[in-house]
């Protein structure tokens, strides 16, 4: 491969970002940089519960204090310093994230879409955040209105690829394999 493939993965809560990232890591050896990892590191160091609301509040506070693109700057630097040929940036959420990351050669944005009820049911089955399995439908909908979540659809509208994740995993994987094949053919 002559050039890096850098895929930004965007999607609402429960859309399948972690699922597809894990698949791409396993099948293609992709290296991953997640926006939420830096937040999780800070929350852990502060001994604050890693609940979704705390991630959202910390993200907002960091951006208000250090600039809207502070997290994008960190991710972009991580990507630029990575020796890997295939890199995933998971958890892109804001226009400033994409604007900053699009400056990286080879960067492409993939939007994962899934029905709201499907996303909620997936959230209940996982334990990515400490409060995922106890979340009510009303809580889920309320969190979807937080500032960290509301820009996702706007940003996703500018995606290079849209992946429908309402079906079985095999269909999700097939769609991603097609995208990777297209990108490798042009890299």
Q: Per-residue pLDDT tens for 96-133?
A: 889 889 999 989 999 999 999 999 888 888 767 766 67
Instruction: Tell me which DSSP letter residue 167 carries.
Output: S
Mean pLDDT of 150-177: 94
Please state, rounded to an integer, the average pLDDT across all residues of the chain: 90
Q: 148 falls in which pLDDT band (50, 70, 90)?
A: low
Rounded percentage of the chain residues whose pLDDT exceeds 70: 95
Predicted TM-score of the model (pTM): 0.86
Give yes or no for residue 2 having a pLDDT over 60: no
Count other Cβ atoms within 10 Å, centred on residue 40. 17
Give the Å distances, CA to CA, from 122 to 90, 114, 127. Answer: 18, 10, 10
Q: 1 falls in which pLDDT band (50, 70, 90)?
A: very low
Determine the pLDDT at residue 176. Answer: 98
DSSP string across 34-48: EHHHHHHHHHHHTT-
Cα-based angle 117, 170, 144 (whole degrees, multiple of 5):
25
Contacts of 163 (CB under 8 A, 6+ apart): 20, 110, 111, 112, 113, 172, 175, 176, 179
Counting the structural domains of the chain, the total is 1
Distance (Å, whole) CA 4 – CA 21: 16
CATH of the domain at 41: 3.40.50.300
Of 6-20, 56-70, 84-98, 118-132, which gets the smallest average pLDDT?
118-132
Backbone angles phi, psi at 44, to 5 degrees: -60, -45
Count other Cβ atoms within 10 Å, centred on residue 10. 26
Q: Which residue range is the domain that position 177 belongs to?
A: 5-186
Determine the pLDDT at residue 147. Answer: 67
């Amino acid at each position: 491969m002559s050039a890096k493939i850098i895929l930004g993965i965007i999607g609402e809560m429960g859309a399948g970002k972690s699922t597809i990232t894990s698949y791409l890591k396993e099948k293609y050896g992709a290296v991953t940089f997640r926006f939420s990892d830096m937040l999780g590191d800070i929350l852990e160091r502060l001994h604050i519960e890693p609940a979704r609301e705390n991630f959202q509040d910390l993200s907002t506070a960091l951006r208000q204090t250090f600039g809207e693109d502070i997290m994008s700057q960190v991710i972009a630097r991580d990507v630029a310093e990575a020796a890997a040929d295939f890199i995933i940036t998971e958890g892109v959420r804001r226009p400033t994230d994409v604007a900053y990351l699009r400056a990286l050669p080879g960067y492409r944005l993939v939007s994962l879409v899934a029905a709201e009820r499907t996303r909620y049911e997936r959230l209940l089955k996982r334990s990515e955040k400490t409060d995922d399995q106890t979340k009510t439908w009303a809580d889920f909908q309320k969190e979807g209105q937080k500032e960290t979540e509301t820009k996702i659809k706007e940003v996703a509208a500018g995606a290079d690829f849209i992946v429908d994740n309402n079906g079985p995993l095999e269909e999700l994987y097939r769609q991603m394999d097609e995208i990777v094949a297209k990108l490798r053919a042009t890299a």
